[in-house]
Amino acid sequence: MLAEVPSQLQVRYADGYLEVESGVVTRHMSISAQAMINDLLACVDERSIDFISIAAGAYAIDRIYRRKASIRNEAGLRTIPVCFHVADFDYWSQPHVADQIAELLNFLSGDFWLVSFSAQKRSTPPGHQEVLDFGSDWRPSRVALYSGGLDSAAGLACAIQAGQRDIVLLTAGHQSAIRRRAKDQVKALQRALPNAGSISHASFVMRLEGSGRIRDQEATQRSRGFLFCVSGAVLAAVCGVDVVDVYENGHGAINLPLVGGGLSSGFSTRGAHPAFLSMMTRLASDVLERSIRFELPFAQMTKADMVARLAHPPGLVSWAQQSRSCIHTSWREPGISHCGYCAACIERHQALEGGGAVDITPYSRPLWEQSTALDDDYFRSYLWQAQRWMRGDLGIKERLDDHCALPHLTASSEDLILLHQHHAAEVLRVYARHADAPLPSNPTPDLLKAA
């Protein structure tokens, strides 16, 4: 049984504001294009505006309507009927388009999206989509999504060191602070790497008005990947390029859930999963009527492998550690940027130390330094999964096969198995003290089952 959203939701866009109406309450989200693409939303065509408003509307709904877990619906999966009001109704009303969007959102969030469209007339329709005029002979060669996290920072530095130039970075976030941090990171990289001078940075900022406290919103927000990729696709189209890079390591992109129950629900983040990026490639190319290809340039590497490539020149690893990984983004403590006990902090520390760096991140309470670290469900299952890979456990390989089969990928390849074993060795090397410790006396039943 799925949790029901109150009634069909109506999503409309006009003049930089998105409106989500449930019949009783109307919520608004502002959408602003920053930096060099300040006029982006005014220069693209109607269908591109529709595309952004559909993705932003899905993201707003995902935040507003919290999951309600129950005995019969452990993951709190939702049925979400939504009608998107669009200017190019003839295109969006095609059955195959609605089916693609519903399938894509279901894959990301695990929820059942009932997608429909209604015609909307806008007061000042944009003109035809044209390539952006950058005011000089400079032209970008590719677009890359840039979140400001460790993967995106290490990925950008690795790309520059590998000889890539003329990259337009896109940051899409729900807070202007995310944009400021990403912009500061890029400027610092340009000082550290002379070859980084050709980088340009753009951003979308989505602000949900009257959203209240973060703790009162849905925490998973799995639809963010759709919003990021749609924004990247539209920017790529107006820049005249056909490649959008996603700086995510291969192990993280697959993101095999730590427990079997996460395979078929919204527990597993899939925003960089190869199957999702394949779906986005098909959808974006169809919507924008040009080839748009999403690529994972570091699909064969772990996060620690990416960090290891930053050993030279000196100072590059320190620069990468300006990145922000913590799930608790609203953490408020002077001089503290990371909590030290969420999943992202645990994996960040493992990647930095596993990549040969000295982790200088100021953590509030680093879990791995605690003698009771194995009492934490996530940390314990994180180590158990690594141990299973190193033992050659057939059960963990079968779970990877199932994870690949769900989005209709082929069975996990030998390269993918080797990548997971490589990551497992890194985990056990960094957290060796805990990996050798005895199990807690009362481990969580479902994690025991998974192990």
Least confident of 16-20, 43-47, 73-77, 343-347: 73-77
Distance between CA atoms of residues 49 and 69, nearest Å: 35
Confidence category of residue 435, pLDDT binned at 50, 70, 90: confident
When pLDDT is averaged across residues 95-120 and rounded to a whole number, the result is 93
When pLDDT is averaged across residues 425-429 and rounded to a whole number, the result is 96
CB 407 within 8 A of CB 275: yes
Distance between CA atoms of residues 54 and 226, nearest Å: 10
pLDDT over 60 at 117, yes or no? yes
Confidence category of residue 181, pLDDT binned at 50, 70, 90: confident
| Proportion of the chain above pLDDT 90, given as a percent | 49
pLDDT at 219: 64
pLDDT over 80 at 2, yes or no? no
Confidence category of residue 409, pLDDT binned at 50, 70, 90: low
- Exposure string over 76-114, b if 16+ CB within 10 A, otherwise e: bbbebebbbbbbbbebbeeeebbebbbebbbbbbbbebe
- Exposure string over 274-305, b if 16+ CB within 10 A, otherwise e: bbbbebbbebbbebbeeebbbebbbbebbbbb
Beta strand 142-145 with 243-246 is: parallel
pLDDT over 70 at 298, yes or no? yes
State yes or no: cis peptide before 313, omega within 30 of 0: yes
Least confident of 5-9, 30-34, 208-212, 338-342: 208-212
Least confident of 18-32, 119-133, 410-424: 119-133
Round the average pLDDT of the chain to a whole number and report it. 83
Q: Which residue has the higher pLDDT, 61 or 367?
A: 367
Q: Which of 189, 150, 158, 186 is nearest to 359 (CA)?
A: 150
Least confident of 94-98, 197-201, 202-206, 380-384: 202-206
Distance between CA atoms of residues 350 and 425, nearest Å: 11
Confidence category of residue 6, pLDDT binned at 50, 70, 90: low
pLDDT over 90 at 354, yes or no? yes
When pLDDT is averaged across residues 157-180 and rounded to a whole number, the result is 84
When pLDDT is averaged across residues 406-417 and rounded to a whole number, the result is 71
pLDDT at 264: 45
Cβ neighbours around 211 below 10 Å, total: 16
When pLDDT is averaged across residues 239-255 and rounded to a whole number, the result is 94
Token pair in block for residue 397: 């390989």
| Proportion of the chain above pLDDT 70, given as a percent | 81
When pLDDT is averaged across residues 423-433 and rounded to a whole number, the result is 95
Confidence category of residue 448, pLDDT binned at 50, 70, 90: very low
pLDDT over 90 at 134, yes or no? no
pLDDT, tens only, 248-280: 999 999 998 876 554 444 456 888 999 999 999
pLDDT over 80 at 122, yes or no? no
CB 270 within 8 A of CB 108: yes
pLDDT over 90 at 98, yes or no? yes
Residue 204's beta-bridge partner residues?
A: 33, 172
**How much of the chain is in helix, strand and coil states, percent to nearest 5?**
45, 15, 40
Residue 81's beta-bridge partner residues?
A: 114
Cβ neighbours around 434 below 10 Å, total: 18
pLDDT over 60 at 408, yes or no? no
Q: Which of 81, 62, 72, 106 is nearest to 23 (CA)?
A: 81
pLDDT at 35: 45
Q: Which residue has the higher pLDDT, 63 or 350?
A: 350
